[in-house]
Amino acid sequence: MSEIIVDDLTGKTSAGDITVTSEGGAVTMQLQQGLAKAWGDYDATSNSMRNSFNIASVTDNGGPGDFTYAWTNSFDSANYAPAGTAGSGRGGGNTNCVIAPTDTTFTSSQVRTGAIDLGGTYRDVQDNLLHVMGDLA
């Protein structure tokens, strides 16, 4: 098996230019369909993003567990698949939630989500772990 390691990769496709730059000390990166195009580890209790990829910002919409994630690089349409889990694992306790998109703001540039516990209650919890599959624009 051959391996090529570079700091910067530039190429062309029928859709336009592609540029990939190594980030955060990463030494390998796969370019293919099927990889998560965005993910984030958001702490709703302190309104801070611990770590993320392709998430420009998170807006707290005022209600518990109600957030809008905006993408750094938009998807090619609103037909992508956001999903995730949430809970209070790092903060203690055992509140378990799912993160599901709501239908009020689901566009190629952002998605509004709810962190909902198993009883159907929206909650602000410490660990909101979102991942998104789809095609970027």
CA distance linking residue 130 with residue 38, whole number of Å: 8
> For residues 87 and 36, is the Cβ–Cβ distance under 8 A?
no
pLDDT tens for each residue of 97-127 = 888 887 666 799 999 999 998 888 898 988 9
Domain boundaries, the chain: 34-133
For residue 27, pLDDT over 50 is answered with no
For residue 16, pLDDT over 70 is answered with no
For residue 94, pLDDT over 80 is answered with no
> For residues 24 and 12, is the Cβ–Cβ distance under 8 A?
no
3-state secondary structure of 37: coil
Q: Which among 47, 80, 88 has a CA at the least distance from the CA of 66?
A: 47
pLDDT tens for each residue of 43-92 = 998 999 999 999 999 999 999 999 999 999 999 999 999 989 888 776 56
